Amino acid sequence: MAHERIVILGGYGNTGRAVARLLLEHSPVDLVVAGRDRARAIRLAEELNQAFGAERVLGAEADASRPESLRPVLDGASIVVAASSTSAHAVVVGRAALDAGADYMDPQYSTRKLELLRSLKPSIEAAGRCFVTDAGFHPGLPAVLVRYAAGRLEAIRRARVASVIQVNWKELEFSPATLEEMAGEFADYQSLHYRDGRWRSMGWLESFAPIWVQFGHGFGRRYTMPMFLEEMRPLPSMFPSLVETGFFVGGFNPVVDFVLMPVGMGLMKLVPRRGAAMFGRLLEWGLREFTRPPYGTLLQLEAEGMRDGKPATLGVEVAHADGYLLTAAPMVACLLQMLDGSARRPGLHLQALLAEPARLLKDIQAMGVEVLVRDGA
Ligand SMILES: NC(=O)c1ccc[n+]([C@@H]2O[C@H](COP(=O)([O-])OP(=O)(O)OC[C@H]3O[C@@H](n4cnc5c(N)ncnc54)[C@H](OP(=O)(O)O)[C@@H]3O)[C@@H](O)[C@H]2O)c1
């Protein structure tokens, strides 16, 4: 019997390449890696076929903004992974997936994208397809960690997730579309977090007093800011004992955080059309020039609740030196649950609320991610 075929748009990008490698290592699927540059797609397919000693990968040209270019590439696919910086084209890709009878996943962080995909919800449900959005590391993992802790503690009361992303940006190459999309994401930024039993934003004055977190893995004490992720929204109603939860994103570096971000946000307000592209270039420069070692990526949960009727704590650290492996591993772990049918539920889902948490953590560990769980009194 032929294996299922997964098409990865942005297949030769940083996230796409890592997803392709992990899928080849951990599942029997065949792949199509696609992007607007046909030669790069074919080159990567050849590299992967050689590395894995089998003809499992094809390279193809596809543009997420052009349905006619997606049609032949998606033909026969069972899942489309949009690992491309194409959140603005979510409807085009989503419709193409539905027309091809394929399920869908994307790791993009964008409020607008969620709105676009929600407009497809009736068609997704009518077709019985499983669409998974906000996949990856963040978004993608914070609510998985809270759900995991809620399963290990009785009456979970507090659950804070915080991140460090400190990568050697000089070693990375991005599509200009990715930098522009990244800059646009800052315009979507909301500081909503759940405290004292209600969702609240940081006041103007509070934004000058960042929240300090003690991180493991040698990163030490660092400033963070609350960052709303859609996957956190239903947690208080899922776990009514929760009085405090939220995701707290660590800074990139002081120059980017305190100089370039305000300048970039100003640019996007002043010249909305060209602002995102200008901010994207500034961001790339600031990340490359001012980010210093130690390099690594870490997501850390600190939770409190009860165990055997007594107050108890639970800590989880999820880390990898390569931020793109840490992005791809949860995506592939969720894809494995879709492929075996356990998470292939019709509808539009957020990865962090669809995937089974304990299995996902075990699977990403098998993919080389460090997962450390600390039970405390
Ligand atoms: N959830 C998470 O934890 C997480 C973490 C990291 C990244 N991300 C998201 O993942 C996405 C990819 O990021 P990345 O860092 O991997 O970017 P990247 O390395 O720049 O790769 C982006 C890829 O998308 C392709 N692409 C761009 N426009 C396209 C189009 N119109 N049609 C088809 N392909 C297109 C690019 O190739 P061509 O330009 O040659 O077409 C490239 O292969 C972004 O949306 C980013 O926000 C999420």
Task: Write the class of the CATH domain 142-322.
Answer: alpha beta
Domain ranges of the chain: 5-136+324-360, 142-322
For residue 247, what are the contacts with CB-CB under 8 A and spacing of at least 6? 138, 142, 161, 162, 163, 193, 226, 227, 228, 229, 232
Count of helices and strands (H, E) across the chain: 15, 16
14 lines ligand 1 (CB under 6 A): yes
**Tens-digit pLDDT profile for residues 308-336:** 999 999 999 999 999 999 999 999 999 99
Cα separation of 214 and 87, whole Å? 33
pLDDT band at 233 (very low <50, low <70, confident <90, very high): very high
pLDDT at residue 1 in the model: 45
Pocket probe for ligand 1: among 7, 37, 84, 230, the residue whose CB has the most ligand atoms within 8 Å is 84
Is the per-residue pLDDT at 109 higher than 70?
yes
| Nearest alpha carbon, ligand 1 atom 6 | 327
Q: What is the pLDDT of residue 59?
A: 98
The answer, yes or no, to whether any atom of ligand 1 lies below 6 A from the CB of 83, is yes
Q: 109 C-alpha to center of ligand 1: Å?
A: 11
| Ligand 1 center to 342 CA (angstroms) | 28
pLDDT at 204 over 80: no
Q: For the chain, what's the residue count? A: 377
* Calpha distance 297→293 (Å, rounded): 11
Q: Is 36 in the pocket of ligand 1 (CB under 6 A)?
A: yes
| pLDDT per residue as tens digits for the range 257-312 | 999 988 988 888 888 778 888 888 999 999 999 999 989 999 999 999 999 999 99
CATH code of domain 5-136+324-360: 3.40.50.720
Q: How confident is the model at residue 2 (pLDDT cuts 50, 70, 90)?
A: low
Cα(163) to centroid of ligand 1, in Å? Answer: 21
Question: How remote is the CA of residue 202 from the centroid of ligand 1, in Å?
Answer: 30
> What are the CA-CA distances from residue 249 to residues 190, 209, 233, 246, 277 (Å)?
12, 14, 16, 10, 23
Rounded Cα distance, 309 and 306, in Å: 6
Q: Does residue 181's CB lie within 6 angstroms of at least one atom of ligand 1? A: yes
Indicate which residue's Cα is closest to atom 39 of ligand 1: 175
**Residue 87 CA, closest ligand 1 atom number:** 45
β-pairing, 30-35 vs 57-61, is parallel
Ligand 1 atom closest to 106 (CA) = 10
- Reduced DSSP (H G I as helix, E B as strand, rest coil) percent helix, strand, coil of the chain, to 5: 45, 25, 30
Kindly give the distance from the C-alpha atom of residue 36 to the centroid of ligand 1, in angstroms, as a whole number: 11
At 115-169, the pLDDT tens digits run 999 999 999 999 999 999 999 999 999 999 999 999 999 999 999 999 999 999 9
State if residue 110 touches ligand 1 by the CB under 6 angstroms criterion.
Answer: no
Residue 11 CA: nearest ligand 1 atom is: 43
In terms of C-beta density within 10 A (0-12 exposed, 13-18 middle, 19 or more buried), how is residue 54 classed? exposed
Q: Which residues contact 167 (CB under 8 A, 6 or more apart)?
A: 291, 295, 296, 297, 322, 323
Handedness of CA 289, 291, 296, 298 (dihedral sign): negative
Q: What is the mean pLDDT of the chain?
A: 94
Confidence of residue 18 (pLDDT cuts 50, 70, 90): very high
Please tell me whether residue 35 adopts helix, strand or coil conformation: strand
305: Cβ below 6 Å to ligand 1? no
- Ligand 1 atom closest to the Cα of residue 138 is 3
Q: Take residue 211 and report the two structure tokens written for it.
A: 């929240």
Q: Report how far ligand 1's centroid is from the alpha carbon of 10 (Å).
A: 5
Q: How far is the CA of 280 from the centre of ligand 1 (A)?
A: 14
Residue 178 pLDDT greater than 50, yes or no: yes
Q: What is the distance in A from the centroid of ligand 1 to the CA of 175?
A: 7
